Amino acid sequence: MVKSMTGYASETGEISLDSVVYSAQWDLRAVNGRGLDLRFRLPDWLDGLEGSLRKILSDKVKRGNVSLSLKLSRSESAGPMRLNPAALEAAVSMVMAAEAQAEARGLGLAPMTAADLLGLKGVIDSGPETLDQAALVGALLIRAEALLAAFDAMRAAEGAALAQVIDAQIDAIASLTAEARQAAAARRPDQIEALKAALARLAEAAPGLDPGRLEQEMALIAVKTDVTEELDRLDAHVTAARRLMAQSEPMGRKLDFLMQEFNREANTLCSKAQSADLTRIGLDLKTVIDQMREQVQNLE
């Protein structure tokens, strides 16, 4: 499956552990890159979360600059309230000490009610004091599955759209290559006449020139204008590109290299053209190849 390197997904949800509720806000995005670069912005007090997410992303994404952020906030739920005897004893002792100090200085304090005592921090315990990090990390990883699935689906959808464009461009290159063969065949009579005229000029300019040397020079001129090899290589590159596009594994890097080979053959074809039709076809080829390269650089 062809996938794009660009993608985005976000998710917000809650995780409840015992009587504690965590609000999690995820953000996952990726842009083009030469290799795979994973960057994380996660709560630094959660041990093991980054390592697990790094492994999951490395298995799913092979190329691109990927950033994943998580904002995690905690709130106590309305769980059963419990009296903390130690905190209550400490609060009563502090109240009694304050009353004793005030009485020694001749000050009178208003009596403290039970409700006042229970309102002091720590006297009423409404949730656990300790955090089960392993349970929280496990719950976060489960919630991250939906985020990663949405992210991968977006990359696949963009990749499918890119594949349609690139397949059409490959077909255009194949069609232009076939047209170039016809143009090359059509210019052959003119080439023969041009070679004969060049041979006559050489013979006239250097009447004592060795006939064998003349034949060598004419053969070199013929080779320099022959575009058969360039057209054969273009056909081979078209076949290779179609084979790569049919693969199930990432092929963006290989296609990007193949685009250089396409461009090299198109440049050589233009330099050897020696006809208006072949030059036009060569320039059209270069245009399609440049457009295809822009699309290929978005593939994973």
The pLDDT mean for the chain works out to 87
pLDDT of residue 222: 59
Q: Where in the chain are the domains? A: 7-78+131-155, 82-125, 156-296
Residue 111 in tokens: 């009596």
pLDDT in tens, 160-169: 999 999 999 9
**The pTM is what?**
0.72
Q: Comparing 47 with 215, which gets the higher pLDDT?
A: 47
pLDDT in tens, 5-20: 999 999 999 998 877 8
The pLDDT of residue 78 is above 50:
no
Share of the chain above pLDDT 70, in %: 85
pLDDT of residue 102: 78
Identify the band that residue 97 occupies on the pLDDT scale cut at 50, 70 and 90.
confident
Identify the band that residue 239 occupies on the pLDDT scale cut at 50, 70 and 90.
very high
The pLDDT of residue 140 is above 50:
yes
